[in-house]
Amino acid sequence: MTNSDHLARRRFLTGVGVGSALLGVAALTHSALQPGPYSLAHPRSRLDSPQDVPVNRSARQAGVVDMATDSRWRLRVRNDADFEELTLTDLDAMPQRREVLPIACVEGWTVSASWEGVRLRDLLDRVNVPADATVRLRSMQQRGAFSTTLMEPQYARHPKTLLALRLNGEQLDLDHGYPARIIAPGRPGVLQTKWLQSIEAI
């Protein structure tokens, strides 16, 4: 094979390599630009969402179906030695408030809805929680960064912060946090604890 043949072959192989690389980059770029089901460009739809509000984590995904539907569920509210366990019947018997508040999700969607339940500060007063106390909210969800969250007093004592029992005029759907969840103004959705198990002053 002559030198000119070697040179021609090298140029051909170089061209093939560059072309393949460009095709690979183009394919990766195309794939990266395609919006996934949870992207900001394609947020979750309200269509077919329970109670007309999207859900970013279902009860089944959180592993709480059995606990959340157990008739023996009680909400535990504690402040040191002061302690109460409340059933849904107990909570329904307390003064109820209705507030229109948004859920703002990190996935990029925000939906306002009508929430109804007990003011959180009324629950805290039952066990003499100090007005300046931070409270710990514990979900039935055992895993995940937000299975336990802290709520500062400016949120815990806000008159619109609710232990929500109903959403848009109906009992909470299981995927929205049944039997009870937190909804508070000005907090991201991941901190609006669902499937609430306990509230404790710290």
pLDDT at position 2: 52
Tally Cβ neighbours within 10 Å of residue 198. 17
Residue closest to 134 by CA, chosen among 147, 117, 149, 119: 149
Q: In this structure, is the dihedral angle defined by the CA atoms of residues 134, 140, 145 and 146, taken in order, positive or negative?
A: negative
Query: Is 145 inside any structural domain?
Result: yes
In this predicted model, what pLDDT tens digit does every residue of 132-157 receive, in sequence order? 999 999 999 988 888 999 999 999 99
CATH number at residue 80: 3.90.420.10
How do residues 85-128 score in pLDDT, each as one tens digit?
Answer: 999 999 999 999 999 999 988 878 899 999 999 999 999 999 99
Please indicate, yes or no, if residue 111 is contained in any of the structural domains.
Answer: yes
Establish if 7 belongs to a structural domain: no
Number of domains in the chain: 1
Q: Does residue 4 belong to any structural domain of this protein?
A: no
18 within some domain: no
pLDDT tens by residue, 13-52: 444 443 444 334 333 333 333 333 333 334 444 445 889 8
Distance CA 148, CA 166 (A): 22
> How many whole angstroms separate alpha carbon 55 and alpha carbon 47?
11
Range of the domain at 81: 57-201
- Residue 130's contacts (CB-CB under 8 Å, 6 or more residues apart) are 201
